[in-house]
């Protein structure tokens, strides 16, 4: 769907080209996010500003590439997923601080770097998927429950070293301390139905296939599966549990962005970052990607709305970033993947 049709479908109206846009202006993006997820956003940005967006997509290795390129890098903006990758880019020295009232206004404090090097764009809850056939509603309500003996041989997860699991373990560490997190992770390991493997959709498929009864996944994967005829049966075999609603709330992670240290098109990079945090882009994110926009006034998609409201953990993601190294060490200590 092109930019104009997409905006009309969302009830969004394109503005005239920015008066300051000149022919040949561009901005270069290095993205961990797949092209089909972000291209609709870039198309609308170009329609509004006249600034062309050039994109390089890679599943991994963008920080290493930026370090190799150094001051000669053509990249202006990094788009990536998970707080670990955002923090990694800042720690590697390949980003710069950005001052922007629009970014501060659009993005809640918990979802941006106190040093202004990275900014969240969308959020996703780390939830529990449970078998409709073998788990009763209310039988499991907390992340901590995953480590209880009653779930022995009934849990599936990704690798304990995957960034999504590392972030969840970091949040457990923040709330229960290192010893508490180690005990939880060891208990979770003891309850695994199989060696940690696969992505989040693979965990839900394993539930459908009877390999396990519960799994930990990101919310948006439910939207992805329900939108794929080959995977609908996987999603329909489970119900969603938003953990810890009587306590701290659901662990939330982000997709996000940062401006590169070299940024040859800094002004356009800032314009793109501000656009991505604004109302038009946030609504496109909501409709296209099954994620929760960071801009609070943005309406959710119909599918995401159908999942209901939930309480989110207010722990700042900067704290998760600080603890991710400790969380990764804990996975090694308990031999989670062995």
Question: How many domains would you assign to the chain?
Answer: 2
Cα distances from 219 to residues 124, 125, 128, 156, in angstroms, run 6, 5, 9, 16
Residues 94 and 63: their CA atoms lie apart, in Å, by 7
Residues 6 or more apart in contact with residue 63 via CB below 8 angstroms: 85, 88, 89, 92, 94
Residues 67 and 195 in one domain: no
Q: What is the pLDDT of residue 206?
A: 98
- Per-residue confidence in pLDDT tens, the chain, 338 aa: 554 554 544 444 443 434 344 446 999 999 998 888 899 999 999 999 999 999 999 988 999 999 999 999 999 999 998 999 999 999 999 999 999 999 999 999 999 999 999 999 999 999 999 999 999 999 999 999 999 999 999 999 999 999 999 999 999 999 999 999 999 999 999 999 999 999 999 999 999 999 999 999 999 999 999 999 999 999 999 999 999 999 999 999 999 999 999 999 999 999 999 999 999 999 998 888 899 999 999 999 999 999 999 999 999 999 999 999 999 999 999 999 98
Q: What is the pLDDT of residue 1?
A: 52
Q: What is the pLDDT of residue 154?
A: 98
Q: Are 253 and 167 in contact (CB under 8 A)?
A: yes
Residues 196 and 329 in one domain: yes
Print burial letters for 180-217: b (CB count within 10 Å at least 16), e (below 16): ebbbbbbbbbebbbeebebebbbbbbbbbeebbbbbbb
Q: What is the pLDDT of residue 60?
A: 87
Residues 112 and 184 in one domain: no
Residues 63 and 94 in one domain: yes
Q: What is the pLDDT of residue 285?
A: 87
Residues 285 and 292: their CA atoms lie apart, in Å, by 8
Residues 217 and 136 in one domain: yes
Residues 272 and 213 in one domain: no
Residues 195 and 281 in one domain: no
Residue 338 falls inside a structural domain: no
The CATH number covering residue 237 comes to 3.40.190.10
Predicted structure pTM score? 0.89
The three-class DSSP label of residue 123 is strand
Residue 143 falls inside a structural domain: yes
Residues 103 and 278: their CA atoms lie apart, in Å, by 8
Residues 191 and 323 in one domain: yes
Residues 117 and 203 in one domain: no
Q: What is the pLDDT of residue 22?
A: 47
Residue 23 falls inside a structural domain: yes
Q: What is the pLDDT of residue 23?
A: 45
Q: What is the pLDDT of residue 20?
A: 44
Residues 189 and 329 in one domain: yes
Per the structure, the complete domain to which residue 204 belongs is given by 126-251+311-333
Residue 328 falls inside a structural domain: yes
Q: What is the pLDDT of residue 3?
A: 47
Residues 27 and 155 in one domain: no
Residues 179 and 185: their CA atoms lie apart, in Å, by 10
| Cα-Cα-Cα-Cα dihedral sign, residues 67, 65, 73, 85 | negative
Residues 94 and 13 in one domain: yes
Q: Which helix (H) or strand (E) holds 30?
A: strand 26-31
């Amino acid at each position: 769907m092109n930019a104009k049709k997409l905006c009309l479908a969302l009830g969004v109206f394109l503005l005239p080209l920015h008066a300051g846009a000149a022919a040949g202006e561009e901005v270069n993006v290095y993205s961990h996010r797949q092209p089909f997820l972000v291209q609709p956003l870039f198309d609308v940005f170009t329609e509004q500003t006249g600034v062309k967006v050039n994109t390089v997509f890679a599943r991994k290795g963008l920080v290493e590439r930026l370090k190799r390129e150094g001051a000669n890098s053509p990249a202006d903006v990094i788009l990536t997923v998970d707080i670990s990758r955002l923090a990694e880019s800042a720690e590697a020295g390949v980003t710069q601080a950005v001052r922007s009232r629009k970014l501060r206004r659009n993005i809640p404090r918990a979802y941006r770097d106190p040093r202004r090097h990275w900014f969240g764009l969308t959020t996703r809850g780390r939830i529990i998927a449970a078998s409709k056939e073998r788990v009763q509603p209310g039988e499991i309500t907390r992340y901590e429950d995953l480590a209880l003996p009653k779930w022995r041989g009934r849990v599936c997860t990704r690798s304990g070293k995957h960034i999504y699991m590392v972030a969840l373990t970091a949040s457990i560490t923040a709330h229960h301390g290192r010893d508490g997190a180690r005990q939880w992770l060891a208990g979770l390991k003891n309850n695994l139905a199989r060696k940690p493997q696969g992505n989040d959709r693979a965990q839900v498929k394993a539930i459908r296939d009877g390999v396990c009864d519960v799994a930990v996944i990101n919310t948006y994967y439910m939207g992805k599966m329900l939108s794929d005829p080959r995977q609908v049966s996987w999603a329909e075999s489970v119900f969603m549990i938003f953990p810890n609603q009587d306590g701290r709330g659901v662990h939330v992670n982000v997709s996000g962005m940062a401006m590169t240290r070299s940024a040859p098109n800094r002004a356009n990079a800032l314009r793109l970052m501000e656009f991505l945090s604004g109302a038009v882009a946030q609504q496109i994110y909501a409709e296209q990607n099954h994620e929760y926009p960071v801009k609070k006034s943005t309406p959710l998609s119909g599918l995401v709305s159908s999942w209901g409201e939930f309480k989110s953990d207010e722990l700042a993601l900067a704290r998760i970033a600080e603890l991710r190294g400790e969380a990764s060490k804990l996975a090694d200590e308990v031999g989670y993947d062995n």
